[in-house]
Amino acid sequence: MATRGYTIAELLAVTSLIALAALIISPSSSSHEDAAAARAAETVAQALAFARDESIRTTSLHQVEITQSTELTVQLMSRDEPPIPAGIVTKPTTRQPFELNLRNSTGASTLTSVARFATDDGQIRTQILFDGHGLPKHIDASGHALLTGGEVIVANGNSRLRVTLAPMTGRVTIERI
């Protein structure tokens, strides 16, 4: 009596099901890195867009500052012309200060960020202002400087995203790099 074996189609189907089950059971750490970087980039983009919208709504200056010391924070401030200090803006729904710790809010302990806002005076800065018309610029004691290009690079592990702030329009976009 002859023994019946398995066909190629049956072996491929079983192998495919085992591979699919392995992918579902053990998600890769890179997907967690991608998700954390995407949340951080989206937070930065929302802060920039909110500052622009608030500056237009209130016809006053709003500043976004991105700092990285021991914590990575995005801070939104309302301010008058320098040298008057800035006051932290509150979130409209919670009335809490608009200050976000990206590492805490995304759950990514290895999250890093580099903010570069270039202005027409040749300087590179980590903060940007929006005037009452929503125009991105920098203002200090020496005067006004228009934005010529701006980006925030957000990285977590191998995942890197660029948040770009367009000069003149203040349009914010996110792209994977």
Domain ranges, ordered by start, for the chain: 30-176
Residues 6+ apart with CB under 8 A from 48: 64, 128, 163, 165, 170, 172
Please determine, for residue 162, whether its predicted confidence score (pLDDT) is greater than 80: yes
The mean pLDDT value for 148-164 works out to 88
Cβ atoms of residues 64 and 127 within 8 Å: yes
> How does the average pLDDT of the chain come out, rounded?
78
Least confident window among 8-22, 51-65, 118-132, 135-149:
135-149
Cβ atoms of residues 120 and 157 within 8 Å: no
Please determine, for residue 146, whether its predicted confidence score (pLDDT) is greater than 80: yes
- CATH superfamily label, 30-176: minor pseudopilin epsh domain (3.55.40.10)
Amino acid 1: pLDDT:
59
pTM of the model: 0.71
Report how far apart, in Å, the C-alpha atoms of 55 and of each of 103, 107, 154 are: 27, 30, 25
Amino acid 164: pLDDT:
93
Q: How many CB atoms lie within 10 A of CB 172?
A: 21
